[in-house]
Structure formats: C-alpha cells, structure tokens
C-alpha cells in the first residue's frame, strides 16, 4: 500500500501576512488608507470566490464598489504574488517526503487569483505534487 500526504498551502507551504496584502492593495490602488475598513479575507464574498460561485472579477468588483478603490484582477494577482513566501519547515517536510517517493497532494481553500499568483512566483510549484484539490475548482471549502 502506498502512502499519500496531503498539504494545505496557506501557512503550511506558503506563508503570507494579510497586512502585507492590504499594504499592497493600497499601493496598487494608489491610496494611503483603505476606505470603509476593507476586508479582503473576512468577507462572505471570499467564500463565494474560493468556491468558484463567483469569478475573481466579480469578487474584486464587489470590493471596489464597497470601497471606491480602482483595482484590476491583474493588480490583485501581483499583490498576492509579492505577499507570498515559502514556509521553510513545510517545504522541507514536503521535499523529504517527495524524495522518499511518496505521493504528495495539495488541498486548499483558495481562489483562482491566489493560484495564479503562486504559479507566477514559482512556475513549477504545483507540478511538484501528484494532484491538486482547490476549493474554487471543487465548489466547496473546508472549515
């Protein structure tokens, strides 16, 4: 029987700080403060975009409408791309298991724009695993 290992992405293989994301959004939108206490991660819209119920464009349009910001999906991808960092401990374990021949799978609550940011930052990142299970493709998230 072969063993399979499943890795989450956020703060397991890839670290990020939401404050860095918010600063990146401000810089991309050309503002010094975020209006209406923007919440990129705590909105019900996050669940919708991470389950593929709405597109990344719809998600961002909702944020822009609520805050008055002008931001493109391309800019949002760039913000996340800059915010993502490899988690040393998680990646060390990942590589050890992979070198030992185990099947590695990615399972994550994630939106397409986040996956695209990771692909752009580390082009072969997702090819290192055996299979990917992303909430925006599956239509569900884990809580």
Rounded to whole angstroms, the Cα distance separating 29 from 121 reads: 21
Task: Give a yes or no: residue 143 inside a domain.
Answer: no
In which residue ranges of the chain is pLDDT below 70?
1, 35-42
Structure confidence at residue 69 (pLDDT): 86
Q: Which of these, 69, 54, 56, lies nearest to 24 by C-alpha position?
A: 69
Q: What digits encode the pLDDT tens for the residues 120-138?
A: 999 999 999 999 999 999 9
Task: Give a yes or no: residue 104 inside a domain.
Answer: yes
Question: C-alpha 134: how far from its chain's center?
Answer: 10
Provide DSSP, 32-94.
SS-GGG--SSSSHHHHHHHTTSS-HHHHHHHHHHHH-----HHHHHHHHHHH-EE-HHHHHHH
Structure confidence at residue 75 (pLDDT): 96
Give the tokens for residue 52.
């593929």
pTM for the model: 0.90
Domain count, the chain: 1
| Domain of 99, in residue numbers | 4-138
């Amino acid at each position: 029987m072969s063993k399979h290992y499943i890795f989450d992405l956020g703060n397991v293989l890839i670290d990020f700080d939401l404050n860095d994301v918010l600063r990146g959004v401000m810089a991309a939108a050309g503002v010094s403060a975020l209006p209406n206490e923007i919440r990129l991660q705590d909105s019900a819209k996050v669940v919708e975009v991470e389950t593929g119920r709405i597109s990344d464009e719809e998600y961002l349009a909702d944020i822009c409408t609520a805050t008055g910001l002008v931001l493109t999906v391309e800019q949002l991808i760039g913000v996340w791309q800059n915010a993502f960092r490899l988690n040393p401990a998680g990646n060390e374990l990942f590589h050890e298991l992979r070198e030992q021949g185990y099947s590695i799978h990615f399972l994550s609550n994630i939106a397409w724009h986040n996956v695209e940011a990771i692909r752009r930052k580390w082009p072969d990142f997702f090819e290192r695993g055996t299979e990917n299970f992303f909430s925006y493709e599956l239509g569900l998230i884990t809580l």
